[in-house]
Amino acid sequence: MELFALLIILILALSAGLLMQWLPIRHRPRPSWSQRVPFLGGGTPDSHAWSRYHIRYYSMTLLLIAFEMEMMFMYPWAVVFVEKGMKAMMEMGMFLAILSVGIVYAWREGVFKWQ
């Protein structure tokens, strides 16, 4: 029953959101071809802009995920910590130590430097 109520709420919220987006655009004509080409100040492209591109912050992103996973594991750990006591504390300490070594290694390799 609760799940059913949640489903109804979800459908209502989604349809309200879609309706609000659809109302203003229902009479609008599709943009013309000249509008759909990229704006280059009056210039023209030679090729499609779908190209391989260097995202330079990707190494920092990977590190962020490492930190984030660490935090995620701490939530279930906090629940069992009361039961298990010192043993859980030790296990989490080991886990954090291993992750920290990874971060220290990345630091040494110059991941935090913007090249």
Minimal distance, residue 20 CB to other proteins, in Å: 9
Does 50 bind other proteins (CB under 8 A)? Our answer is yes
Pair 64, 72: CB distance under 8 Å: no
Task: Please report, as residue ranges, which positions from 69 to 88 form the binding site for other proteins (by CB under 8 A).
Answer: none
Measured on CA atoms in the order 68, 72, 73, 74, is the torsion positive or negative? positive
Residue 34, interface with other proteins (CB under 8 A)?
yes
Q: Rounded to whole angstroms, how far apart are CA atoms 13 and 95?
A: 41
In the complex, the residues that contact other proteins under the rule CB under 8 A are 23-24, 27-29, 31-35, 37, 39-54, 56, 115
